């Protein structure tokens, strides 16, 4: 057994190019020797030496890895797929290591002004892999380097003489951060030939859906990640919703069913039409619908439409993006606003706000301190 070895994933969980696992503790080198076979040489005692080789558990291959030994620790560089990382951590655990969460102090330079804030730092590392755009990345990392960290630190410094509303508003920010880290699903629905696929292509900036004057061109739905004002959004193009009649092919009925299923699961549905017609989509609440008048170069925007676009000439697209972000509560997003991004931070902020209102500053301070240091 190597019970004195701690194994921790140093890179954000999720899909990635590489993953780094740190084995820390006096038995780390010995543990590695049992699972690792260097490809070229066994002369592995040189500190800092990089070695290429095979990681295997009882003869079962896990990955080809690069290892580096330093100060009694071992850094194992793996391929970054979640399955490989899982297998490697399981093998280290079977060999006797204790698998622990990442300690930010192992990742960041101690000279960083926030390095003594390991709780938000660790949670940030955990969520890094969810960031789908530079703005999303900024929104997350800022909570550690300023935002939420600074709010808690300044409240502690002021002996909790701070408006509880500021803490509550940071707690409420969890809703926005959740949407930033898990991009919202926006589904484009509407009658055949309304210009849905043209609109998706114009919004994404490349041809993801086939456009044709023939009705019923889009059969299965097409989903693509795109950015609206720097914020990631999943856009789904769907088959046209046609009036059901006896002559309809089975494949059209199936395509419409799939379109309705996607719409029913969406955070927002854009009902696109070049003339007034449908006011609703089966299974979608009215509050989740945005009415889009299309082809406004040749058709008058009809009354009741929320936005008018001409996708072919790329007109009205920014108005549409703004309307979508507004409905999703993401318009005018400022990444530096202090916001909770985990349920733990949310609960502790609410607890601190309640304690300040009850005039219990020590209780409030304990909750704020816990946000920073666990
Ligand atoms: N004049 C005009 N025609 C458009 C516009 N958008 C789409 N179309 C045309 O409408 C037809 C159907 O477009 P498409 O995007 O395939 O519609 P969908 O069936 O709703 O996906 C095609 O012939 C497009 O060229 C537009 O903004 N203006
Ligand atoms: Mg289409």
d(CA 261, CA 320): 23
Winning range, highest mean pLDDT, from 129-133, 177-181, 205-209, 298-302: 177-181
Residue 57 sits in the same domain as residue 93: yes
Residue 215 sits in the same domain as residue 322: yes
- Which residues' Cβ are closer than 6 Å to ligand 1? 192-198, 211-213, 217-218, 240, 294-295, 297-298, 310-312
195 alpha carbon – ligand 2 mean position (Å): 7
Residue 111: the pLDDT is 63
pLDDT digits (tens, 9 = 90+) for 2-33: 458 999 998 877 777 899 999 999 899 999 99
Q: Which residues constitute the domain of residue 32?
A: 6-100
Write b or e for each residue in 59-98: b if 16 or more Cβ atoms lie within 10 A of its Cβ, otherwise e. eeebbebebbbeeebbbbbbbbbeebbebbbebbeebbbe
Pocket perturbation via mutation, ligand 1, pick of 187, 192, 198 by most ligand atoms within 8 A of CB? 198
Out of 30, 65, 100, a domain closes at 100
Give residue 45's pLDDT band: very low, low, confident or very high (50, 70, 90).
low
- Count how many domains the chain has: 3
Residue 80: the pLDDT is 86
Q: What is the CATH number of the domain that holds 273?
A: 3.40.50.300
311 alpha carbon – ligand 2 mean position (Å): 13
pLDDT digits (tens, 9 = 90+) for 175-194: 999 999 999 999 999 999 99
Assess if residue 113 is contained within a domain: no
Pocket perturbation via mutation, ligand 1, pick of 193, 240, 308 by most ligand atoms within 8 A of CB? 193
H-assigned helices in 48-162: 82-94, 104-107, 118-127, 134-145, 147-157
Residue 81: the pLDDT is 87
Give residue 115's pLDDT band: very low, low, confident or very high (50, 70, 90).
low
Relative to the CA of 210, which ligand 1 atom is closest? Answer: 16
Residue 252 sits in the same domain as residue 305: yes
Nearest CA to ligand 1 atom 10: 195
Q: Would strands 50-57 and 36-38 be described as parallel, antiparallel, or unpaired?
A: antiparallel
Contacting residues for 209 by C-beta, under 8 A, at least 6 apart: 196, 197, 200, 201, 218, 222, 237
Q: Is the pLDDT of residue 102 over 70?
A: yes
Q: Is the pLDDT of residue 373 over 90?
A: no
Residue 72: the pLDDT is 83
pLDDT digits (tens, 9 = 90+) for 227-253: 999 999 999 999 888 777 767 788 888
Are 78 and 18 contacting, i.e. CB atoms less than 8 angstroms apart?
yes
Residue 106: the pLDDT is 67
Ligand nearest to the CA of 190: 1
Residue 43: the pLDDT is 62
Ligand nearest to the CA of 310: 1
Residue 116: the pLDDT is 63
Q: Average model confidence (pLDDT) for the chain? A: 90
Pocket perturbation via mutation, ligand 1, pick of 195, 271, 315 by most ligand atoms within 8 A of CB? 195
């Amino acid at each position: 057994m190597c019970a004195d070895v701690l194994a921790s994933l140093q890179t954000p969980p999720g899909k990635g190019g590489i993953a780094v696992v740190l084995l820390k503790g006096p038995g780390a080198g010995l543990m590695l020797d049992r699972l690792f076979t260097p490809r070229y040489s066994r002369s592995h005692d040189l500190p800092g030496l990089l070695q290429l080789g095979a990681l295997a558990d009882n003869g079962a291959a896990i990955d080809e890895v690069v290892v580096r030994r330093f100060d009694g620790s071992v850094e194992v560089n793996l391929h970054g797929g979640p399955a490989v990382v899982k297998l490697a951590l399981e093998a280290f655990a079977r060999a006797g290591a204790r698998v622990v969460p990442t300690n930010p102090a192992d990742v960041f330079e101690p000279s960083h002004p926030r390095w003594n804030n390991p709780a938000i730092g660790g949670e940030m590392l955990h969520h890094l892999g969810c960031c789908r755009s530079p703005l999303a990345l900024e929104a997350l990392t800022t909570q550690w380097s300023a935002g939420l960290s600074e709010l808690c630190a300044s409240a502690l410094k002021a002996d909790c003489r701070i408006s509880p509303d500021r803490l509550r508003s940071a707690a409420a920010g969890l809703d926005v951060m959740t949407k930033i880290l898990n991009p919202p699903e926006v589904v484009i629905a509407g009658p055949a030939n309304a210009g849905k696929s043209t609109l998706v292509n114009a919004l994404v900036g490349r041809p993801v859906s086939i456009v044709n004057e023939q009705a019923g061109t889009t059969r299965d739905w097409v989903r693509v990640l795109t950015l609206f004002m720097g914020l990631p959004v999943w856009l789904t193009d769907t088959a046209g919703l046609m009036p059901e009649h006896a002559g309809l092919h089975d494949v059209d009925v199936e395509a419409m069913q799939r379109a309705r299923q996607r719409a029913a699961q969406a955070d927002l549905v854009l009902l696109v039409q070049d003339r007034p017609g449908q006011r609703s989509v089966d299974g979608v609440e009215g509050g989740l619908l945005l009415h889009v008048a299309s082809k406004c170069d040749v058709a008058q925007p009809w009354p009741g439409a929320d936005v008018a676009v001409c996708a072919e000439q790329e007109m009205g697209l920014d108005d549409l993006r703004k309307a979508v972000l507004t409905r999703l509560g993401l318009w005018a997003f400022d990444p530096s606003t202090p916001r909770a991004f985990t349920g733990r931070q949310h609960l502790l902020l609410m607890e601190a706000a309640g304690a300040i209102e009850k005039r219990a500053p020590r209780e409030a301070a304990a909750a704020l301190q816990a946000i920073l240091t666990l």
